[in-house]
A and B are shown apart, each in its own frame.
Chain A
Amino acid sequence: MSTTQPETKTGIAPAAATSAEGRKNSRARAARRRKGLVLGSRLLLLVVLLGLWEVLARTKVIDPFNFSMPSKVWDQISTWVLHGTAQGSLGEQIAITLYEAFMGWIIGVIAGVVLGIVLGRIAFLADVLGPYVKVLNAIPRIALAPIFVIWFGLGPESKIASAIVLVFFPVFFNAFQGAREVDRNLVDNARILGASNRKVTLQVVVPSATTWIFTSLHISFGFALIGAIVGEYIGASKGVGLLVAAAQGNFNPAGVYAAMAILAVVALVAEGLLTLVERRLFKWKPTGHGADR
């Protein structure tokens, strides 16, 4: 973005068209170069960190048993990929965890958005339910995971439940805030143009609140994964969380790290997909820093 001030400054005096063209090219080149540089530096940083970890562990500066080392983690992942885990194939574990996280996320998001918008629009309900929402939000919800395992058993239901309670609140609060902060002018305009209350909600409040809601969707998918993993960790018959628990039980730190690495990749992919959806949905937004007024 702001990478090429030097050229623009120095190129002011000669006003010929060719030099303008040249400036444009050199600006594009500089932008490309910077992109490459960032990417290269990122990779270098990763290599340095992993290398440092490997070297420190091999030279026993850090305890290789507790901290494991990248090569062992890699071995663990390839073993899982090639020969499966003790609970079945690695793909199945990931699929199960994803299924639980995704179901919990969807249900939590729908509940959060609907309730957030409804409470944001109906002041009476917000006043009545406000304190209860605050109390529920104050509960350390991750501690509910064991209770859900008791209630719903070792199957996916208990994990979905923990994902839901983690996802619901951030989404709810954002939707609520979004519904509250709708531009008064837009609402007035819609009403004057003839919109009923229902249409104001669906066609003005909901679209205005989507920016807020999407902010929460990004973090909340991470929460859904956490919910699913913690649930699996506490008690499950399948899933990545169980891999972590099993590796820990077998005194296999490499297994714990390997499971975490896999989770990180899964979370990144999910995040990428969400960003794609968001881009499509927010065509109407000015690009840049979202400052449209």
Chain B
Amino acid sequence: MSTDTSPAIELRGASKAFRTPSGALHTAVRDLDLTVARGEFIAVVGPTGCGKSTTLTLISGLEEPTGGEALVSGEPVSGIGDKVGFVFQQDATFPWRTVLSNVMAGPRFRGVPKAEAKERARDWLARVGLSAFEDRYPHQLSGGQRKRVALAQTFVNDPEILLMDEPFSALDVQTRALMSDELLELWAGTGSSVVFVTHDLEESIALADRVVVMTAGPATVKEIFTIDLPRPRKVEEVRLEPRFIEIYREIWSSLGEEVRITRERGAADVDHAA
């Protein structure tokens, strides 16, 4: 196929408007242009509730853009494709399935025979260090462990595109740094493209090749920064480097303004956009 040369993800003037319960039209995203190369790690930062998550739902096919186009591997997104993996902000493991069964879910949904699905699931559970927990139920795990299950559940499908919606925001600071490192390790072997949404600037710089700063809602791309920190990175170490701090300052001068705008608008309409 000729799709090999096309970028992994392309958004061309994509917009998304929702009908709010009160009947008003709320624009979450407008005129969004973004290109993600194959194997690239992109982090999207923006003020809380600006519409960052909506960007991901457009790429994933969970929602369709109301204007513009979303393309994956050069083809317009229509419905949920099999190339995409999505790690959600909230817990989305199935509470009635064991850890192993949770990780097997993706391959099983896609018609992989049980034995093979089990084998692949065990492999990924080993990589996230949860082999000893395969018979547990999600409620018996810690928040960090559940997140690892979610990662294994997503990676087991070999997604070409990995969408992550503030996946570690509910974790405590130490677990978060640990999970970030693990994510980088897991990702390094796959060659997949990642779009990582976060409101934590440090996290985004530590993880990404490029950081996209979004405007206050309705969200559109404000500026894109290339992060020239060498890989492999260790999150806890890289954030102490002078270059890191330099980049941080540079991006914050752009992001801070948007955060201020959001704050001035008050909490009332921020809630809607979430």
Which of A50-86 touch B at CB < 8 Å?
Answer: none
Cβ-defined contact, A185 with B90, below 8 A: yes
For residue A199, which residues in chain B have a CB less than 8 angstroms away from its CB? 109
Which of A181-220 touch B at CB < 8 Å?
Answer: 183, 185-186, 188-196, 199, 203-204, 207-208, 210
Query: With A189-B86, A189-B88, A284-B95 in contact, is A194–B137 under 8 Å at CB?
Result: no
At the interface, yes or no: A292 with Cβ under 8 Å from chain B? yes
At the interface, yes or no: B274 with Cβ under 8 Å from chain A? no
Cβ-neighbour of A293 out of B91, B96, B153 (below 8 A): B91
Cβ-defined contact, B92 with A284, below 8 A: no
At the interface, yes or no: B126 with Cβ under 8 Å from chain A? no
**Min C-beta distance of A277 to chain B, whole Å:** 15
Which of A5-21 touch B at CB < 8 Å?
Answer: none
**Interface residue count for A (Cβ, 8 Å)?**
24
Q: Mark A97-113, 1 if CB is under 8 A from B, else 0.
A: 00000000000000000
At the interface, yes or no: A283 with Cβ under 8 Å from chain B? yes
For residue B97, which residues in chain A have a CB less than 8 angstroms away from its CB? 284
At the interface, yes or no: A286 with Cβ under 8 Å from chain B? yes
Q: Mark B85-101, 1 if CB is under 8 A from A, else 0.
A: 11010111111111000
For residue B140, which residues in chain A have a CB less than 8 angstroms away from its CB? 286
For residue B110, which residues in chain A have a CB less than 8 angstroms away from its CB? 193-194
Closest to B163 in A: A192
Cβ-neighbour of B137 out of A188, A191, A204, A284 (below 8 A): A284
At the interface, yes or no: A285 with Cβ under 8 Å from chain B? yes
Query: With A284-B97, A284-B139, A285-B139 in contact, is A193–B153 under 8 Å at CB?
Result: yes
Cβ-defined contact, B139 with A286, below 8 A: yes
Cβ-defined contact, A191 with B62, below 8 A: yes
For residue A192, which residues in chain B have a CB less than 8 angstroms away from its CB? 60, 62, 80, 84-86
**Interface residue count for B (Cβ, 8 Å)?**
28
**Min C-beta distance of B14 to chain A, whole Å:** 19
Cβ-neighbour of B91 out of A185, A190, A283 (below 8 A): A185
For residue A193, which residues in chain B have a CB less than 8 angstroms away from its CB? 105-106, 109-110, 153-154, 157
Query: With A189-B86, A190-B109, A193-B106 in contact, is A207–B94 under 8 Å at CB?
Result: yes
At the interface, yes or no: B82 with Cβ under 8 Å from chain A? yes
**Min C-beta distance of B161 to chain A, whole Å:** 11
**Min C-beta distance of A117 to chain B, whole Å:** 16
For residue B105, which residues in chain A have a CB less than 8 angstroms away from its CB? 190, 193, 195, 203
Cβ-defined contact, A207 with B96, below 8 A: yes
**Min C-beta distance of A214 to chain B, whole Å:** 13
For residue A293, which residues in chain B have a CB less than 8 angstroms away from its CB? 91
Q: Mark A250-275, 1 if CB is under 8 A from B, else 0.
A: 00000000000000000000000000
Cβ-defined contact, B86 with A188, below 8 A: yes
**Min C-beta distance of A178 to chain B, whole Å:** 13
Cβ-defined contact, A188 with B92, below 8 A: yes
Closest to A286 in B: B139
Cβ-defined contact, B94 with A188, below 8 A: no
Query: With A185-B88, A185-B90 in contact, is A292–B95 under 8 Å at CB?
Result: yes
For residue A196, which residues in chain B have a CB less than 8 angstroms away from its CB? 109
Query: With A194-B109, A284-B139 in contact, is A188–B88 under 8 Å at CB?
Result: yes
Cβ-defined contact, A194 with B92, below 8 A: no
Which of B46-62 touch A at CB < 8 Å?
Answer: 60, 62
For residue A285, which residues in chain B have a CB less than 8 angstroms away from its CB? 95, 139
Closest to B139 in A: A286
**Min C-beta distance of A92 to chain B, whole Å:** 41
For residue B91, which residues in chain A have a CB less than 8 angstroms away from its CB? 185, 293
**Min C-beta distance of B41 to chain A, whole Å:** 19
Cβ-neighbour of A185 out of B92, B96, B138 (below 8 A): B92
Closest to A188 in B: B62
**Min C-beta distance of A77 to chain B, whole Å:** 44
Cβ-neighbour of A194 out of B60, B82, B95, B138 (below 8 A): B82
7 closest residue pairs by CB, A with B: A189-B92, A193-B106, A194-B109, A194-B110, A286-B139, A195-B109, A192-B86
21 A-B residue pairings within 8 Å (CB atoms): A185-B90, A185-B91, A189-B94, A190-B94, A191-B62, A192-B62, A192-B85, A193-B105, A193-B153, A194-B82, A194-B110, A199-B109, A203-B94, A203-B109, A207-B96, A210-B96, A284-B98, A284-B137, A286-B139, A292-B95, A292-B139
Binding site for B on A (CB under 8 A): 183, 185-186, 188-196, 199, 203-204, 207-208, 210, 283-286, 292-293
* Other A-B pairs, 17, CB within 8 Å; known A189-B92, A193-B153, A293-B91: A185-B88, A186-B92, A188-B86, A188-B92, A189-B93, A189-B94, A190-B94, A190-B105, A193-B154, A193-B157, A194-B110, A195-B109, A203-B105, A210-B96, A284-B137, A285-B139, A292-B95
